[in-house]
């Protein structure tokens, strides 16, 4: 029974769950980037160049005996977009963290000794 409890503790740790969420979000983000490259960037920027070459898709670009450098270019563009998006996200998160750190910490609550000393001081002040 100890093995299964140990596995449960491992699988439900915060780091493992965070990693799983990150992978799922990464897969969804990958689909968005793929769509951005294939449906927006390629038609707007690369279509005129592809039409001059007599091609419909960047992935059809080949060199010599079947070297598909068009597919490689498509993947490079996707990588650059993902890297830039992650850079912006990390930069925003870091700036928010700096703002949180910049806030002054609240003064610590008085200790029991300090409270007692304040009571003694107040009692002495109120004496005739």
- The answer to whether residue 123 is domain-embedded is no
- The answer to whether residue 93 is domain-embedded is yes
- CB 37 within 8 Å of CB 81: yes
Alpha helices in 2-111 (DSSP H): 2-11, 14-35, 47-53, 69-102
- The answer to whether residue 113 is domain-embedded is yes
**CATH number for 19:** 1.10.1200
**Closest alpha carbon to 42 in 71, 64, 13, 6:** 71
* pLDDT band per the 50, 70, 90 thresholds, residue 97: confident
DSSP 67: B
State the total domains in the chain. Answer: 1
| Both tokens assigned to 56 | 């419909």
Q: Is the pLDDT score of 102 beyond 70?
A: no
Instruction: Give the integer Cα–Cα distance in Å for 43 and 45.
Output: 6
pLDDT digits (tens, 9 = 90+) for 58-76: 766 777 777 777 778 878 8
| Both tokens assigned to 64 | 């010599």
- The answer to whether residue 127 is domain-embedded is no
Q: Is the pLDDT score of 5 beyond 80?
A: yes
Domain that holds residue 45: 2-118
pTM of the predicted protein model: 0.48
């Amino acid at each position: 029974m100890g093995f299964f409890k140990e596995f449960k503790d491992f699988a439900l740790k915060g780091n493992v769950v965070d990693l799983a969420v990150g992978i799922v979000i990464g897969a969804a983000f990958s689909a968005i980037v793929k769509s951005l490259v294939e449906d927006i960037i390629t038609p707007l920027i690369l279509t005129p160049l592809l039409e001059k070459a007599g091609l419909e898709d960047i992935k059809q670009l080949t060199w010599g005996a079947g070297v598909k450098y068009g597919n490689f270019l498509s993947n490079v563009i996707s990588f650059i977009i993902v890297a830039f998006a992650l850079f912006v996200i990390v930069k925003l998160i870091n700036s928010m963290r700096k703002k949180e750190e910049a806030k002054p910490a609240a003064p610590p609550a008085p200790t029991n000794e300090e409270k007692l000393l304040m009571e003694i001081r107040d009692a002495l002040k109120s004496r005739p």
